[in-house]
């Protein structure tokens, strides 16, 4: 039983940010951007990203400039592609869900670039540049290593997570 037919605190449609609504309609792969080692590991869920192919392929992402990751990015980091079933990790690293025992309790491995989640595709990246862009920080990195595994990617669309192709 419900007492409301719609969300009682929802912003009226005419007052919502049109650009944000457009972004929500763009399906995006869900990734974790991770850096550091041991107790100094940090990470953030990132869905605003692209891979630019070239002689030196690059990854470009938009991160929260107030995040722990933004403060910790110095030289190298990893980009881990989340899979179907990783919704809890995505929400925890986005700061939207609790992480009892800490964000890295799930058994991450250390690499030369930073932490990775076993059984997931990932890239080892060297930081090239950062700049402020809108309300975000644009991060550009050179892809130095790629590890690929089979799996169904996790995507985000209209504020919800789902398996790609579903």
Other beta carbons less than 10 A from residue 165's beta carbon: 8
pLDDT digits (tens, 9 = 90+) for 91-110: 999 998 988 888 998 789 99
Residue 1 located in a structural domain: no
**66-78 burial, b if ≥16 CB within 10 A, otherwise e?**
ebbbbebbeebbb
pTM above 0.85, yes or no: yes
CA 161 – CA 148 distance, rounded (Å):
22
With a pLDDT cut of 90, the percent of the chain lying above it is 67
Residue whose tokens read 């669309």: 157
pLDDT digits (tens, 9 = 90+) for 37-78: 988 999 999 999 999 999 999 999 999 999 999 999 999 999
Domain range for 114: 46-163
CATH of the domain at 73: 2.30.110.10
Query: Which contiguous run of DSSP H or E holds residue 70?
Result: helix 68-72
How many domains in the chain? 1
Side-chain half-sphere CA neighbours of 126 within 13 A: 6
Six token digits for residue 68: 């722990």
Residue 30 located in a structural domain: no
pLDDT at 83 (0 to 100): 96
| 126 touches 75 (CB < 8 A) | yes
- Is the pLDDT at 143 greater than 90? The verdict is yes
What is the average pLDDT across 131-155? 97
Residue 83 located in a structural domain: yes
Residue 34 located in a structural domain: no
- Is the pLDDT at 7 greater than 80? The verdict is no
């Amino acid at each position: 039983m419900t007492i409301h037919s719609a969300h009682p605190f929802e912003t009226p449609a005419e007052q919502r940010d049109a650009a944000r609504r457009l972004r929500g309609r763009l399906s995006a792969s869900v990734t974790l951007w991770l850096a550091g080692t041991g107790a100094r590991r940090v990470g953030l869920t990132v869905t605003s990203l692209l891979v630019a192919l070239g002689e030196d392929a690059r990854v470009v992402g938009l991160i929260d400039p107030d995040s722990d990751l933004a403060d910790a990015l110095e030289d190298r980091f990893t980009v881990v592609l989340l899979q179907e079933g990783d919704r809890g990790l995505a929400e925890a690293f986005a700061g939207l869900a609790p992480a009892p025992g800490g964000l890295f309790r799930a058994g991450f491995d250390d690499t030369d670039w930073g932490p990775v989640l076993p059984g997931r595709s990932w890239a080892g990246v060297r930081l090239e540049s950062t700049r402020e862009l809108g309300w975000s920080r644009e991060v550009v990195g050179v892809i130095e290593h790629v590890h690929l595994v089979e799996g169904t990617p996790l995507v985000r669309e209209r504020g919800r997570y789902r398996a790609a192709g579903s």
